[in-house]
Structure 1
């Protein structure tokens, strides 16, 4: 269900980016396949107005350059390890001197996110934390 909600939100957002229909200019014009609003199937109970901004504030004890990923979908392996569904990445960026501040939009269908911070050398286990939603602000300190 999460994948459907994320895909639907993305489809709606992208369908609003069609630009000029006149066929002139550099956009390619009339050869695009357009989807009309009445062709979009919205799952029962879905409410786009239930999306909300989430502020992300991370401060880790590291002076090394790290890379941040936040995922909306993940699973637990039989030995308890958390594995992200990489197609569900919500936000990504560099963590400099252990600090990252960002913002993303969550929907009511998103009940938790996986926050991962990777060392660039790839030899150490990344920092991972599952955060329950809804929240307007996520603060992580270690």
Structure 2
């Protein structure tokens, strides 16, 4: 029994000794041949003057002034009316785009991900109130017909309260 206790003590002591020796004695994990305790060499000290920053006094919201006539809205309401008398019997679909450009050969290059409206046209008539971002000045309106023998109607319109095509 005494031998068993002594054997266990030796095994535990030896395990602890090997475990601690494997850790490298603490520090930043690992040993280093350079003898600096495992720390990376430091860069030589250089003295660079810090740029001076001008002092800015913070404003309160009561001190902020907005230009006269500034509307604090980020959206604009536009009523779009389309009347296609000559195509009353044709099924059609209308799309409104905000990101597009006209190429040199007068074709429209449209970012189809910029569609702000997509809807059906019933009996050649479409009326809808749109809410558009305030920064838009113009949009592209396109009417596509289910009958592919009819060319789509494409118009660039200036954003206004009431737009009719």
The TM-score, its normalising length taken from structure 2, stands at 0.52
Q: Which residue of 1 aligns with 2:164?
A: 139
CA drift of 1:50 comes to 3.7
Q: Does 1:52 align with 2:76?
A: yes
Instruction: Give CA deviations for 1:3-44 in whole Å, capped at 9, x if unaligned.
Output: xxxxxxxxxxxxxxxxxxxxxxxxxxxxxxxxxxxxxxxxxx
Gaps of 5+ in 2: 1-70
Aligned residues: 93
Instruction: Work out whether residues 48 and 107 of structure 1, in 8 Å CA contact, stay in contact via their aligned partners in 2.
Output: no
Q: Greater strand percent: which structure?
A: 1
66, 87, 108: which one aligns with 1:62: 87
Residues in 1 aligned to 2:140 and 2:100: alpha-carbon distance in whole angstroms? 7
CA drift of 1:51 comes to 1.3
- SS of the residue corresponding to residue 49 of structure 1 reads coil
Gaps of 5+ in 1: 1-46
Report the structure number with the largest CA radius of gyration.
2
- Give matches, 1:100-111, under 5 Å: 100-111=126-137
Residues in 1 aligned to 2:116 and 2:72: alpha-carbon distance in whole angstroms? 17
CA drift of 1:48 comes to 6.3
RMSD of Structure 2 on Structure 1 (CA): 1.6
